[in-house]
DNA sequence: TGATAGTTTCAAATGGTTCTGAAATCAACA
DNA sequence: TGTTGATTTCAGAACCATTTGAAACTATCA
């Protein structure tokens, strides 16, 4: 059976999307399922995906659940069909916002909290310190502040871009060209 | 021996920084070494770090090399001392730019290349297709384009922000507030 | 050139994550 | 409520990246 260009392109994209995701701490399979749904117009059921990606039922189930939790795909029920179907968000802009918000919540917030605690700990001890020790503590505080400031600025920027909506990125880039 | 707040804060930050990095596809140890150097004013040698982080010589060597490759830390030689010392970039802004550029080069560029190939493959076949097949192929092309456009906009924005320099992020966010 | 301190390399071990497959559970319908 | 088909769970298997430690290598100095 001759494969069409569309089929080959699909396979190629799915593979690469999975590889890229793996480099960003997202499981290859989760990304592959997402890629498959992103490219497909009709909703797919679990068996479709197991067949297409050659994965086990358990694996499919776990990763589908995660994708739903992230808000990147949706469950769909067809009347008169007991199976569940899934579709992906196809608005890339929306996808991006979802991913950024989730990762911020899961990974950035904990480190910000830690940094604030570190700052507080050292600041509390600062007045009891003298000489070299005091200088060192002050430098350490600067370092913590450096990262905190960065994250704050990053949040500000991403919120501003989100606020601009779907064309936000391009608009923002254009605006900044002339800044 | 009583630990100072500064020492505890250091340990806490190093641990969390490593955990965060692990969630982003960067090895825990690499990030811990980086965190240690980021907080320390004097350059450290390999043995200092092995001791401090409880890691083997080989591990330290490999990760130090990677960090140097990324451009996040520098080798330093002290006259009359055969050992190599290392320091980290402490300008968070610069750090950020370095990381974004590296990851773009390593992870984003390959997927962009793949997407362009996918597009080309499908586009070439498009004129031979009719009816439903043609519609499907057109939708697939839209999906590929969607991601490509997104990456292009993202590149544009990050370049614009880089161009603004150290205060770029904050400036950009402020500008966009009023857009 | 030999001796020594320092660094890199690499095969093997480890540890942690992901995946499988079958049993348990759940939900819809008669 | 029982039957059936779909989904979830989970213990063990498989897999992969990281780490170790020792040997090889390199550079410096006497």
Q: Is the pLDDT of residue A169 over 80?
A: no
- Among all residues of chain B, which has the CA nearest to that of A143? B39
Whole-angstrom distance, CA of residue A12 vs CA of residue A32: 11
* A83 and A113 co-located in one domain: no
Contacts of B114 (CB under 8 A, 6+ apart): A12, A13, A16
pLDDT of res. B17:
97
Domain count, chain A: 2
Q: Is the dihedral of CA A142, B59, B103, A102 positive or negative?
A: negative
pLDDT of res. A163:
86
- Please count the CA atoms within 13 angstroms of the CA of A132 that sit on its side-chain side: 2
Q: Is the pLDDT of residue A179 over 70?
A: no
* A121 and A144 co-located in one domain: yes
pLDDT of res. A161:
86
Which of these three, B68, B88, B108, is where a domain ends? B88
pLDDT of res. A164:
81
Which of these three, A88, A105, A123, is where a domain ends? A88
* A137 and A169 co-located in one domain: yes
Lowest-pLDDT range of A117-131, A146-160, B107-121, B152-166: B152-166
Whole-angstrom distance, CA of residue B15 vs CA of residue B28: 9
* B98 and B164 co-located in one domain: yes
* B61 and B119 co-located in one domain: no
Domain of B27, in residue numbers: 5-88
What is the distance, to the nearest Å, from the Cα of residue B61 to the centroid of all Cα atoms in its chain? 20
- Go through chain A and tell me how many residues it has: 179
* A133 and A155 co-located in one domain: yes
Pick among A21, A145, A157, A174 to test the B interface (most B CBs inside 10 A):
A157
Work out the angle at residue B140's Cα, subtended by the Cα atoms of residues B136 and B142, and round it to the nearest 5 degrees: 120
* B21 and B82 co-located in one domain: yes
Q: Is the pLDDT of residue A177 over 90?
A: no
Read off the pLDDT band of B80 (50, 70, 90). Answer: confident
What is the CATH classification number for the domain harbouring B79?
1.10.10.10
Q: Which residues numbered 113-152 in A keep a CB inside 8 Å of some CB on B?
A: 114-115, 117-119, 121-122, 124-125, 133, 136-137, 139-140, 143-144, 146-147, 149-150
* B77 and B100 co-located in one domain: no
> What does pLDDT average to over chain A?
92
Contact criterion met (CB < 8 Å) for A160 and B139? no
| pLDDT one-digit tens code per residue, B127-165 | 999 999 999 999 999 999 999 999 998 998 898 888 887
| pLDDT one-digit tens code per residue, A65-101 | 999 999 999 999 988 888 999 999 999 999 999 999 9
Write the residue in A115, A144, A161 that is nearest to B176 by C-beta: A161
* B131 and B80 co-located in one domain: no
* B101 and B157 co-located in one domain: yes
Which of these three, A53, A73, A88, is where a domain ends? A88
* A116 and A166 co-located in one domain: yes
pLDDT of res. A57:
97
Are B108 and B151 in contact by the 8 Å Cβ rule? The answer is yes
| pLDDT one-digit tens code per residue, A150-164 | 999 899 889 888 888
């Amino acid at each position: 059976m001759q494969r069409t260009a569309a089929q080959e392109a699909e396979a190629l994209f799915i593979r690469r999307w999975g590889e890229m995701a793996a480099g960003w701490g997202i499981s290859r399979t989760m990304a592959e399922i997402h890629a498959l749904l992103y490219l497909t117009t009709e909703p797919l059921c679990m068996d479709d995906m197991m067949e297409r990606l050659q994965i086990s039922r358990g694996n499919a189930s776990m990763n589908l659940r995660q994708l739903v939790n992230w808000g990147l795909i949706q469950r769909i029920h067809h009347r008169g069909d007991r199976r569940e179907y899934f579709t992906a968000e196809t608005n890339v802009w929306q996808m991006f916002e979802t991913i950024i918000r989730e990762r911020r919540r899961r990974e950035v917030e904990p480190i910000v909290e830690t940094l604030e605690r570190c700052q507080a700990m050292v600041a509390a001890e600062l007045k009891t310190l003298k000489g070299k020790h005091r200088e060192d503590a002050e430098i350490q505080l600067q370092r913590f502040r450096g990262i905190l400031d960065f994250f704050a600025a990053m949040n500000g920027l991403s919120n501003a871009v989100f606020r601009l909506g779907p064309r936000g990125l391009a608009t923002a880039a254009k605006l900044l060209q002339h800044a």
